[in-house]
A and B are shown apart, each in its own frame.
Chain A
Amino acid sequence: MSEYKYVGKRLPRYDGMQHATASTRFVGDIKLPGMLYVKSWRSPVPSARIRNIDISKAQRVAGVAAVITHKDVPNNLVSDFPVLAEHEVRFMGQDVVAVAAVDEDTAMEAIEQVRVDLEEREPVLDPFKAMEPDSPQIRPEGNFLIVGNKNHQPVRKGDVEAGFAQADHIIESYFRTAAHEHAPIETQVGIAQTDAMGRTHIWTVSQAVFFNQGDIAGVLGVPQSKVHMIGGVVGGGFGGKNNLHVDHINAVLSLYTNGRPVKWVWTREEEMIASTHRGVAHFFFKDGVTKDGRIIARKVKNVRDAGAYAQTNAYVIMKQSGAVAGPHPIPNVWIDSYAVFTNKRPVSSMRGFGMYQTSFASEVQIERIAKELGIDSWRIRFINAVHDGDRSATGTELLACSMIETMQLAAERAGIVLDEDMRAMRSSDKREEA
């Protein structure tokens, strides 16, 4: 007998029938009177100085309502990311000019009339080269993300060198996770309209509507009360719609279209090259392991290819520093987490938000340890599993642990018979001290 009437029940989606009958209205389905359509001029190269932007011919195309550059943006920077590029382009696909016109074809025609004079530069694409002191700096603040007073986030627990000295085995590995695109089936799309009272209304696919509202109010140079965002129906996000760019550009364009709404539907190509993505992560692991399989020292250097702008890289570095030592009570931990900027499209959140990468690295590392020591893959994980009351590498007290229980059940479901002692373990057991 269930103690709850609704909690714990397999109930269909609130809007399930709407989805099944295609009644759900996505932002791309919305049409407003007088609507204009947006296209942007994007940099074809990953790194260049902008010498000149000429929009005069574009402005004269029949059916064009507005053409904007950085000059037309009240406050062009959102943190370090320009709404429209001003002095330089730092990634291939970066927006430089935006057009609102009566239809997409006319907008494209106008874009084709835009002349941007670029002085191409050698792009910095390799984060390890970017870390070298003589590398070209792609940002005035330098190629490293500054964390406090350092160019990395350190984690120091115990004495990792002493741990290595005590260990019976040292296992070193390098891991690389790929750059991934969220690829939601709905691309970035937005509609903006600034009304007669100077309020800007935005129909958005943002996953972080209130953050974006604050950013857009900053861009427009108005109080937040002047920005009204309507959203919450999104055709897939996965972290790719946290740092939208479409709404910022639309909002500015809408200042210049005399109250007419502007709509921008990103093409799949734009989504693939210019939206935010999961950047490549590099991990260098060095573990000290006792002969009975306990990891007693872990040293990790973590280099995140951070793309061209800050975005949420600082958050991920913090999170990865907390997580990369894995769900293991390792007494000696030394982590240096770097985020290094390169001339790639902006890097931000994607499902896992840093721990997709760390979980891959630490779980393959522990497998390598198992093979090196000749210990069973399950046993090595049970030996090193967190228990209730253990502390993570950064000091979080872990409660309601269940690594042990999920492993036991997964093994059982997979038809793998674990040894008695592994089947008897519980997260709530007090750990045996070595």
Chain B
Amino acid sequence: MNYTISFTLNGTPVQVEAPAHINLLTLLREHLDVVSPKFGCAQGNCGACTVHLDGEPVNSCLVLAMTVEGREVTTVEGIGTLREPHPLQVAFYENYGAQCGYCTPGMIMSSVALLQKNPNPTRDDVVNAIVGNVCRCTGYHKIVASVLAAAEQMKTK
């Protein structure tokens, strides 16, 4: 049986019919064609599915889709685009924060959440913000460098 879920996605109201038992990751990817959050484990352990729920980073695989009724969901598409990228996305590009790119959407969401709360993070702050986002390619150093570079860049604006 399907239920109607009404919520705000990247600033736009959406309404979608979906089964009761699915998670937010499946709702976004399969029912709304928003494919930026990635499937990595669906066990809540890798962070590839990270989105913002009312501004807080969450593993969308652990959120029951129905519970986003009336709330705000933000994905990478709402952070920046190729035409108008967010400074963090430019920083990832310039500092080689993405190799295969698969963990990148989750990294972006966790890092944006950090920068929104703390515009002046230390290296440790960044590490703590992304400790729930697993990357197998980069060894993390250039991801941290990207976030710190973005913070620096955003301060001078």
Contacts and interface: CB of A to CB of B under 8 A. Distances in A.
A23 B35 CA distance: 9
B35 A18 contact: no
B98 A268 contact: no
Nearest to B37: A22
Nearest to B76: A22
A10 to B, nearest CB: 8
Contacts of A434: none
Q: State the 8 A-B residue pairs at the shortest beta-carbon distance, nearest first.
A: A235-B102, A19-B101, A22-B36, A19-B98, A20-B89, A268-B41, A16-B93, A22-B76
B100 A184 contact: yes
A20 B98 contact: yes
Interface string B81-96: 1100100111011101
B43 A20 contact: no
A13 B103 contact: no
B40 A185 contact: yes
Interface residues of A, number: 30
B100 A234 contact: yes
Given A13-B93, A20-B92, A20-B104, A235 B82 contact: no
Interface string A29-50: 1010000000000000000000
Interface residues of B, number: 41
Given A16-B93, A184-B102, A22 B134 contact: no
B39 A187 contact: yes
A19 B104 contact: yes
Contacts of A175: none
A265 B102 CA distance: 15
Contacts of A17: 82, 85, 89-90, 93
B10 to A, nearest CB: 12
A20 B102 contact: no
Contacts of A31: 33
Interface string B62-92: 0000000000000111001110010011101
Contacts of A422: none
A71 B3 CA distance: 41
Interface in A174-220: 182-187
B105 interface: yes
Contacts of B80: 20-21
Interface string A294-331: 00000000000000000000000000000000000000
Interface string B121-142: 0000000000000111100000
A37 to B, nearest CB: 10
B103 A185 contact: yes
Contacts of A185: 38, 40, 46, 48, 100, 102-103, 134-136
B113 interface: no
A214 B97 CA distance: 35
Contact of B101 (A18, A28, A265): A18
B104 to A, nearest CB: 5
